[in-house]
């Protein structure tokens, strides 16, 4: 499984990266060097795009710990028919995601500042997270915000055993300079 970005997303992704560069100068959103951002942020998010084929039109997706809107922005760009909730507790990062939604015209991107466990249930058909917490923590949030039986996708660099009551399928992939990664697809057992 190799992550690729559809050509139709190239221009909006370029606009996103330019906005990130501009904001990062004054708000210190990321320590990633500009030349590493496409691979680490965009390509690493693009690996999730094939999973969106299983999400029904009009459904909701939630990204826990979205940070600078990753992978939420890429998912919202790829599927304008979905409502993509970008959740993070950092006010400055959610302010950035709001600006991204405004400047890129992403009316389907819903930034929410706060702790996942404190937000009202979102009723999402798919949950995602990149480099946030343990599977146990993420799945606790997912039980609150996901539809019954809906899958959760965790982007992980290393192996992690799922908590009791969950099954996991690993989908390995490779990033050119970042190495081997995996999408861990979790479902209730």
Distance CA 131, CA 94 (A): 17
Q: Do residues 171 and 39 make contact, with C-beta atoms less than 8 angstroms apart?
A: no
Is residue 127 part of an annotated ligand binding site?
no
Ranges assigned E (strand) in 65-144:
83-88, 109-113, 126-130
N-to-C CA span, the chain: 25
Is residue 28 part of an annotated ligand binding site?
no
Is residue 103 part of an annotated ligand binding site?
no
Q: With 0-12 CB in 10 A as exposed, 13-18 as middle and 19+ as buried, what is 81?
A: exposed
Q: Are strands 109-113 and 152-156 parallel, antiparallel or unpaired?
A: unpaired
Backbone φ and ψ of 70, nearest 5°: -115, 120
List the Cα angle 82/75/89 in 5-degree steps. Answer: 95
Is residue 65 part of an annotated ligand binding site?
yes
Residues that constitute the known binding site: 65, 116-117, 130
Residues that constitute the known binding site for S-adenosyl-L-methionine: 65, 116-117, 130
């Amino acid at each position: 499984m190799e992550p690729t970005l559809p050509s139709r997303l190239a221009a909006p992704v370029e606009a996103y990266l330019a906005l990130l560069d501009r904001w990062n100068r004054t708000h210190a959103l990321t320590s990633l060097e500009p030349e590493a951002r496409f691979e680490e942020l965009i390509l690493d998010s693009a690996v999730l795009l094939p999973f969106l084929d299983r999400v029904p039109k009009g459904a909701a997706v939630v990204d826990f710990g979205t940070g600078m809107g990753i992978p939420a922005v890429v998912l919202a760009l790829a599927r304008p028919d979905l409502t993509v909730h970008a959740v993070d507790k950092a006010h400055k990062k959610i302010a950035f995601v709001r600006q991204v939604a405004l400047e890129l015209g992403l009316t389907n991107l819903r930034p929410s500042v706060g702790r996942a466990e404190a937000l009202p249930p979102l009723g999402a058909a798919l949950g995602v997270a990149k480099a946030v917490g343990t599977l146990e923590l993420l799945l606790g949030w997912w039980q609150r915000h996901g539809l019954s039986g809906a899958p959760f996708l965790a982007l992980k660099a290393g192996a992690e055993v799922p908590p009791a009551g969950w099954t996991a399928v690993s989908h390995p992939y490779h990033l050119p300079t970042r190495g081997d990664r995996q999408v861990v697809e979790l479902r209730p057992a």
